[in-house]
Every structure is written in C-alpha cells, then in structure tokens.
Structure 1
Amino acid sequence: MADIGLWKIAEQQPERTAVITPDGAAVGYGELAATADRYGRGLQAVGLQPGDSIVLMLPNGVDLVAAYFAALQTGLYVVTVNWHLVGAEVAYIADDSGAKAFIAHQRFAEVAVETAEQSALPAEGCFAVGEVPGFRPLSELGADEPRERPDVRTAGSPMLYTSGTTGKPKGVRRPLTGADPDEVPVASTWFFGIFGLEAFDDHVHLCGSPMYHTAVLNFVGISIQLGHTAVLMDRWDAEEMLRLIERHRVTHSHMVPTQFHRLLALPEDTRERYDVSSLRAMIHGAAPCPNEVKRAMLDWWGPVVIEYYAATEGGGTVIPAEEWLAKPGSVGRPWPGSVVTILGEDGAELPAGEIGTVYMRMGSSKFEYHNDANKTREARVGDLFTLGDVGYLDEDGFLFLCDRRNDMIISGGVNIYPAEIENALSVHPKVADVAVFGVPHEDWGEQVKAVVQPAEGIDTGEGLTEEILEHARGRLAKFKIPRSVDYLDELPRDPNGKLYKRKLRDPYWADKDRAI
C-alpha cells in the first residue's frame, strides 16, 4: 500500500484526485500540496509563527482545503468560522483566538470588512478570494516565495468554537504536539477505522455540509490524508447529492437528520432514478434522528447508516445499523479508548437504567476552553467532562439520550445557544424579560422560539414582533433569529430570578411527545 498523508501521496501520486470542487473540477494531490505549501510560506512571510491563529471564512472549495492544510503544516491554529455570522461576531472570534491572518471570500465581503474594522487583525494579514475592499488577493499569498515547503514545518491544529458560559462562543484549544505534519496522526486512522474506513480502498467522500462544522472539516481532512477523493458541495440539495453519489461512486459521507428528511421527501421515482449501490458508510450525528426517519433510510440505503455521538472536546459512542435495529433510539456504545459514564447530582456513578448527566473522556486527551477557565472547570468531574446532556446506559452499555441540560437548540444539525439570543433581545427597550428555546420543527428538528414579557404599557402584536426581530437582525446571524415570538404578562421565575424555562418549553413539545 502506498504511504498516506497529503504530502507523501502528492510525491508518489501527484495526479491522483484529491478534491472535486463544487463546479466539478478535479484537483490532484500534487496541485493541492503545492498550493498548501505556497500559502504556508506566505503566512510565515507575513510573520505568523507556530502557535499563532488564522481565521477562515470561506465556502466549501479548494481554497479552504489548501488553507487548512497550510495551517496544519506550519503549526498554526486554524479557526473556520460560520459564514452566517455578522461582523461583530466574527470580530469577537478573531480577537479571542488572537488571529494574525484572515482569509475571506467575496461572497461574505460585507461581513469581512466589518470584521477587519472591528477587530485587531493586521491589515497585511487580510486576504480575499475575489474582491473584498481593503483585502489583498489570496493569489498574492506566497506568490513571491520559493516553490518549496515552508521553512518551519510542525503540526498545527483546528481550533473550533463552542458556547461559553455567557453565551459567547469559546474556542476548544489543544496543545500543539510538535509532530511531523507529513505523518498522519494515529488518531485519524483510528477514528476512520471506527466506521470501517481505511486508507485508499477506492473510497470517495462526499461533503455536503459547510466545513465550518467540526465533524465536516475533520471528515474532509482525514479523507484526503487517507487517499480518499473528497467531493465538495457548495450548497446541499437532496437530488444533487444523489447525482453526485452515482457520478463519483461515493462510498461515505457525514450527514445530519435534516438531510435524511429531505432525501425521503423526494418523489419515489426521483429516488429510484439514482444508483447508490457504492455507499458503504453514511455517518450521521450532530442531532437526534427520529426513529421512523432512521428506519426509512435503512430500508432505502441498506445497513450502511452509522450513527455516533461525540463532542469537539473528545470522546463518544458509535452504533452501526445492525446494532441500532436491536437497540432503536440508542446512540451506541463507547468507541475504543473512550469512556462514557452517567453521574448523579452528587457526582457518583449511576447504575444501568438510571438517568443522569452524561460524562465522557477520550484517553488522555487534554483540552481547555480558550479564555474561559470557568467553563473548563464547570464541564469537568476529575478527568471526565460533560456537554450537559442527560441520559442513561442500559444493561448492555448502550447510551440513550433523554434531554439536554444546557438548553442548547439543535436546528438542522447546527448548535444554537439561547443565552446569546436572550442577551441580544433583552436590551430592546420594549422587552422587560425574554426566554429563548427550541420548539419542534418537522424539517429542521427544532426552530428558535422567543417568549417575551413586554415592558409595562406596551401593546403586543405583529408590529412589536417585527420591531423585536428587526432589532435582532442587526445583532445576530440569520439562523439565530427567532422564527416566532409569543407573549406573556410575566415569565415564570423564582424569588432568586431563576427562569423556569421548562414550564415555558414543555407545552410546545407536548403534542409532539404524544404523537411519538
């Protein structure tokens, strides 16, 4: 078998296809590695050193992939930001991560300019794909450098952002290893092995979700490192996905239940038109999948649908199709090297069948929430950490999730944190109090609902709702804006001010729960 890793494959098989771009162009390993080298040398030329950070705000494409590998070979932390965010939100992440370079696409020019103006990013570190005022063309990055590898090559790391205790996102930052970037981390081959994916073996990966998502980015990066061609979609479409599966003989992908739902909504003759027999591992996570949806996908695609439960911070479970059919609703057993346990309020381990908080650990993996020691400390019990999810282990060690203690909303596989939205709405002069939570949505799983206590003397109605939502639009990304607003004379709080959010939320879920 040939050696694995981007640069080794590029040396031995430069014409081998690494990436199929959204417009259908094939990019070879040799070309991808050379571009990553040029970007890496360019970043070092503008002063970046190992341990520094770079922010990417790019759509799925070869520019993003090349910049990602440039960072991974020069010891940089690479932060891929959600391009639905507004300028103030991206500027916060740029400053919090200490970014010294920013690469943006002209599609997001307005937000990119706002980010540069509101952050401490150096002007010489701002590059653009296309035209962005004040940004240098990405084609200039490393253009004057020798056509060779960067002078300093050491392994970098993704730095992905998750929620903070105040509603602000916090970066999950791991110590750099100092490893040779030519060597594929053992954890990468091990992780793909969980799903039966090995190097080469005629594998083709289909990326249908934005690569600012942790798992999506990891799956593309590891696929390329293991010699799997990565087929990139710019915007996901159900029938287009089926066309690409047939056209490129796709073997594996990473999906969310919303995509399953939309695939199943296609007319039967459309679904039957495409050959999906090449599929071997269609992996899903990020959000709960209704049992009836999962069964329908298994009936259509066969036993290739694999579910997992995991966190950016590390650790998780996995359940292949055959086991899920025996344990419907479970998210599986801990994968090798991972510990999953259920703890009670007193921190003691609970026996099988008892519901408590889910805690995990992945080997000796270490992480911290960047600039948020409180969040790091509150998430841990000893060497275990929690996402705040509530569930139980059955007598065979299979994990079942029951609730999310931290009230996080998952809409279309995207995590949305109510505290941030509540903070934005609460400053409106006509809002006395506000609660935000997720309510059922057939397509997205959940959608954002706001319940507002209006200020004294304020009349409710469509006019107030539009005023509140317009206020939100200038402060929050579109996907965070409530899809509906209801009103109460007073929100339920205890004498100490604690909000009984469950009392507000439960009635919206009651009809769904009865239906299930």
Structure 2
Amino acid sequence: MTIPHGEGIYDRELDKNAANFSQMTPLSFIERTAQVYPGRTAVVYGDVRRNWLQTYDRVRRLASALANRGIGRGDTVAVIAANIPEMFECHFAVPMTGAVLNAVNTRLDAEAIAFILNHGEARLLIVDPEFADVAERAVHIAGRSIEIIDIIDPSFSGGHRLGETTYDDLLEGGNPNFKWERPVDEWDAISLNYTSGTTGDPKGVVYHHRGAYLNAVGNILTWGMANHPVYLWTLPMFHCNGWCFPWTIAAAAGTSVCLRSVRVEPIYDLIRSEKVTHFCGAPIVLNLLAHAPDELKAGIDHKVSVMTAGAAPPAAVIEAMEELGFDVTHTYGLTETYGPAVVCAWHDEWNDHDISEKARLKARQGVRYSVLDGLMVADPETLEPVPSDGETMGEIFFRGNNVMRGYLKNPSSSDKAFAGGWFHSGDLAVCHADGYIEIKDRSKDIIISGGENISSIEVEGVLYRHPAVMEAAIVARPDEKWGETPCAFIGLKPGATATERELIEFCRANMAHYKAPKTVVFGPLPKTSTGKIQKFVLREKARAL
C-alpha cells in the first residue's frame, strides 16, 4: 500500500484521546498527594497544622467559592500576602477555576501596586492584614471597583478590614467536593508575575500550566528531593510563585513551614523544631544566617539543603554556610524562566577540593535544568555561541517549555525578548571549558538588591522630581549584605544645595523604601559627545567607593 507523502504508519489511527493524553498542570500534584498521603502534614504555621487532605479540602472550597462569584478562565485574582497558608492555598485554588493568580510583591508602594492591579485587570483582590494600608491606597489610586477579600490571621496583631467578605467566609460557603477541571490547554495562563524592566513600569510575565508543571518537577530533580521534604518558606511566594515551590512541595508530598517574616531567630528555631530539610533564599538571607549569633546556630544536627539564587552569591557567603554544615546549591534564572532554570550541578570529584575551592566552583551559575531545552552564551546580534574559554563574554540565552509565554499587553517587548527563537536574558556571562556558565556583568541597568529587581530609571525619575537636582544617574554599588544597592550620582542645579540624607529621604517618601539609593555622590556626571551619561564610568566609581 502506498503511504501518502509526509504521512507514516505512526500518523494514522493513533490519535490522542482521553485515555492517553491530558493537559499538564501542577494542580494534579495536590490531588494525588491528598489521595496517597492524606494524613501527612502539609502546612505548619504557628499553632496551625493541617494535613494534605485538610489542605485539599480548603483549596477546593476556595476554588468553589471563587467560581460562584463568577471567577473563571482568563480572569485575574491578585493576592497581597506574606508566606502564610492562605497564600500557599491560592496557588492551587485560583487556577482550579481557570483564573490566573497574580501574587503581588508585598514590598512595592501603592502606586506600583495600583499599576499592577489595573494592568492585570484584577477582578478580585485577597489581602493579608499586614498589607491592608498599602492595599487600600493602591485600590484608591487604581480608581476602579475591585472586590476585596480579607484574610483574618489571629497570629497577626494589626491591620484592618477592607472588604465585606473574609477568606474564611469563602471557605465556609465553598464546596469541598468541587469538581475542578484541568485547563482547556496546558498553554493556558496559570499565573502573572511582574518584574522590573529597563523602564519604570513593571512588565507582566505570563506563566502557563505546562511550564509550571515542568519547573516544579525540575526542582525535585535538580535538588535530589526525596519524598516528604520539610520546606521552610524563607523565599517570598510572590517571587516567581516562590520559584514554583508551592507546586514542587505538593508533588513531593512535603511540608510547607510558613513564615511571616524573614528573621534569623525564627528561621533557626523552625529548622530545629520542625527538622527543616530544605529552604531557598537570595544571598542576603544566607548572609544573615551565616553572621547570626552562635547561640542561635546550636543544636542543628540534621542535613539542611539550601538553594540560593536571585543574585550571584559571593563565594565567601557560600563558604560561610558550608562551614555551618548547610549544603548549598546555586541556581540561576529570571522571572521570565519561572525562577531557577540553571544549576551549578555538583560533581563528586569536586568533593576533594578544600572548602574555598568548592565555594568558588559553586559560585558559578552552571548548566541547564533537566527540563530546560536550551542554554547558551552567545553574541547577542548573531546568536553565535562564544568560545568556552572562560573569558569571552556574551549574553545568556534560554529556550524551552519553562520560558514565559510573554509579556502581558506588551508584544513589542515579547518580540524583542524572543528574537531569533531564543529568550534574551540581558545578562552577560562567560562559558567555561566544562560548559558551566558564569555571570560577569549585566547588560541591563537593573540593580538586584536582596534578590529584588530595582529599575535604575524608576529611581532616577524620582530624583529628577527633587527641586535641587539637575541630573541623576543610578548604578549598582556592590554590598556585602544586599549583593547590590542603588548608588546615585547627582548633579545639582546652579546655586542649589542638597544633602545625601535629604535625597535619600525624598526617594523613600516617593517609592518603596528598598528602592531608594543607599549612597549619594555629588558632582558632574561623565557624558559622551552626544550628552549621554556614561554609566560604565559611574559603575567603576561605585565599585571603588
């Protein structure tokens, strides 16, 4: 029999059907774990301890209640909350309705949150009492009606009610047997995360179910996580959906130990009392733990694995953590890659090195996750890979299912980011002979402080509003605690005066405090012949301070 051109025997009568194909979604993880390990502890938060069956019950009640309020496919539900059980539950309940979860950065000011609420077209806002004030101002600035659901946290004193309904009211009226459905297409959006770009307004990064599923599994493979890890939430769940770890912990039938604020005392206390096996954090968190008083560090006699990313960790910080007995894994990624997608994969033969050499090796960003299809360091114009000589710099490029769908309502930025069939990271690196990449600089003027992105243009925009400022430029200054902090170079108007403290306080009054410059240098700014400020000169000055 003649087979038509382009069609083979495997292309006929072997179609997808309900028995052999389903859309990938990380929501399937909680369903399975609640069925297989119903009695295992899922969530710990102060006096609250819930197992997986109870957690799945609450998730379905919440999803049912949201659906009853008309929330469905393509709608956005925003949440402003700390790392508390309700934030964890929203990672499952919101997408169970077909809606998209927008976990908002709790460190942002009201103006930035208002922009996010409007740009993402949030239909409903769930608010933790700790952030009631900023949420109230943000909704007022947004200038439109958004239904607000108040989380009531008995362990938190303060805050006030904003809406007419509480989170507990939703659970009370929800159906624990809610029949949620998989997404129509695994390409459907599951979450919306905002990241600062090279402009002041943040960009909305859209994740899909397939990517969230794969990166959650990738975390397990990369970290060698056995079943039932005990995971401490030192990483904000608003940050790339906690690097996909809400879904990872569900897949691994683990325990989420929730933590409202990152302080060294409760971290060490919980590591001891709950026998925490894993936690994540930016280098600043590791630095805090490494320099904590010795009495806090005592009594930890079990293995603790730490994953760090968000900024290139100094080898000295890694070394200090390893000396405490913590096993550090260094990963790298961006909001656009669902969080970590590159890992400094360890080789057994490296165990023979002294601790300083181990730390130097671990400080490299590494190789691609098992679930990432492509990673390269290449010329940003030609996309030709650079030599693996550890010296030639190029831009880091990603390709695969755990790269974002694109930027919401911003096709020009999406097209630019995906030019040539690769995602352009904007980070400059070298590739070593063993194929491991190492970041050397950033082609964008983004400052990464404590793992959070700060747009230099946004800070400059605030400084330019000060009556004494003629010109301003913001660059990163290396900082032992934060990794980087904003350093302002200021040219004053003729006859005008201002002090460093005055300008810093002006910025703090007009934007999120962590974005304000920590250093101000006065004097003429170096410029090109066309009048453009030479930031590379200023970066060198900032490093020399």
Paired with 1:88 and 1:172, the residues of 2 have a C-alpha distance of: 19
Map of 1:115-194 to 2, 5 A cutoff? 115-119=138-142, 122-123=145-146, 125-130=147-152, 131-141=160-170, 143-149=172-178, 154=183, 157-175=190-208, 185-194=213-222
Provide the aligned C-alpha RMSD in A. 2.6
| 1:459 aligns with one of 487, 492, 497 | 497
CA distance 1:9–1:151, shift in 2 (3 Å): closer
Q: Is 1:68 matched with 2:91? A: yes
Instruction: Check conservation: 1:101, 1:121, Cα contact below 8 A.
Output: no
Paired with 1:152 and 1:410, the residues of 2 have a C-alpha distance of: 39
Q: Say which SS state the counterpart of residue 331 (structure 1) adopts.
A: coil
How far 1:306 sits from its partner (Å)? Answer: 0.9
Partner of 2:4: none
Q: Is 1:479 matched with 2:517? A: no
How far 1:56 sits from its partner (Å)? Answer: 0.5
CA distance 1:342–1:438, shift in 2 (3 Å): same
Q: Match of 1:139, as an amino acid?
A: D
Partner of 1:109: 132
CA distance 1:430–1:208, shift in 2 (3 Å): same
Partner of 2:114: 91
Instruction: Check conservation: 1:58, 1:104, Cα contact below 8 A.
Output: yes
CA distance 1:49–1:493, shift in 2 (3 Å): same
Partner of 1:514: none
TM-score by structure 1 length?
A: 0.88
CA distance 1:469–1:292, shift in 2 (3 Å): closer
Paired with 1:217 and 1:262, the residues of 2 have a C-alpha distance of: 21
Paired with 1:63 and 1:100, the residues of 2 have a C-alpha distance of: 18
CA distance 1:366–1:479, shift in 2 (3 Å): closer
Q: Match of 2:544, as an amino acid?
A: A
Instruction: Check conservation: 2:220, 2:252, Cα contact below 8 A.
Output: no
Q: Is 1:15 matched with 2:39? A: yes
How far 1:471 sits from its partner (Å)? Answer: 3.5
TM-score by structure 2 length?
A: 0.84
How far 1:340 sits from its partner (Å)? Answer: 1.8
CA distance 1:275–1:74, shift in 2 (3 Å): same
Instruction: Check conservation: 2:445, 2:475, Cα contact below 8 A.
Output: yes
Partner of 1:423: 461
Q: Match of 1:342, as an amino acid?
A: V
How far 1:212 sits from its partner (Å)? Answer: 1.2
Q: Say which SS state the counterpart of residue 327 (structure 1) adopts.
A: helix
CA distance 1:486–1:165, shift in 2 (3 Å): closer
CA distance 1:185–1:385, shift in 2 (3 Å): closer
Partner of 1:510: 544
Instruction: Check conservation: 2:367, 2:435, Cα contact below 8 A.
Output: yes
Paired with 1:259 and 1:5, the residues of 2 have a C-alpha distance of: 29
Q: Which moved more, 1:128-137 or 1:442-451?
A: 128-137
Partner of 1:241: 267
Paired with 2:258 and 2:464, the residues of 1 have a C-alpha distance of: 40
Instruction: Check conservation: 2:33, 2:250, Cα contact below 8 A.
Output: no
Alignment deviations for residues 57-112 of structure 1 (CA, whole Å, 9 cap, x no partner): 01111111122211121222111111121211111001111111101122111111
Instruction: Check conservation: 1:258, 1:412, Cα contact below 8 A.
Output: yes
Question: Any runs of at least 4 consecutive aligned residues in structure 1 with deviations exceeding 6 A, and if so which?
Answer: none
How far 1:24 sits from its partner (Å)? Answer: 4.0
CA distance 1:147–1:203, shift in 2 (3 Å): closer
Instruction: Check conservation: 1:102, 1:121, Cα contact below 8 A.
Output: no
Q: Say which SS state the counterpart of residue 330 (structure 1) adopts.
A: coil
Partner of 1:284: 308
Paired with 1:476 and 1:417, the residues of 2 have a C-alpha distance of: 12
Paired with 1:203 and 1:7, the residues of 2 have a C-alpha distance of: 18
Q: Match of 2:200, as an amino acid?
A: G
Instruction: Check conservation: 1:408, 1:417, Cα contact below 8 A.
Output: yes
Instruction: Check conservation: 1:357, 1:386, Cα contact below 8 A.
Output: yes
Partner of 2:397: 359
Partner of 2:64: 41
Q: Say which SS state the counterpart of residue 178 (structure 2) adopts.
A: coil
Q: Is 1:378 matched with 2:403? A: no
Partner of 2:257: 231
Paired with 1:377 and 1:35, the residues of 2 have a C-alpha distance of: 40
How far 1:218 sits from its partner (Å)? Answer: 1.6
Alignment deviations for residues 248-305 of structure 1 (CA, whole Å, 9 cap, x no partner): 222211122112222221344543x2224232x3211111111122123223326x21
Q: Which runs of 5+ in 2 are unaligned?
A: 1-26, 153-159, 351-356
Paired with 1:328 and 1:105, the residues of 2 have a C-alpha distance of: 37
- Count how many residue pairs are aligned between Structure 1 and Structure 2: 493
Q: Say which SS state the counterpart of residue 188 (structure 1) adopts.
A: helix
Partner of 1:294: 318
Paired with 2:380 and 2:243, the residues of 1 have a C-alpha distance of: 35
Partner of 2:156: none
Partner of 2:299: 274
Q: Match of 2:388, as an amino acid?
A: A
Paired with 1:53 and 1:95, the residues of 2 have a C-alpha distance of: 10
Map of 1:388-403 to 2, 5 A cutoff? 388-403=426-441
Q: Percent of aligned positions with the same letter in both sequences?
A: 25
Paired with 1:85 and 1:367, the residues of 2 have a C-alpha distance of: 24
Paired with 1:484 and 1:150, the residues of 2 have a C-alpha distance of: 55
How far 1:4 sits from its partner (Å)? Answer: 7.3
Q: Match of 1:441, as an amino acid?
A: D
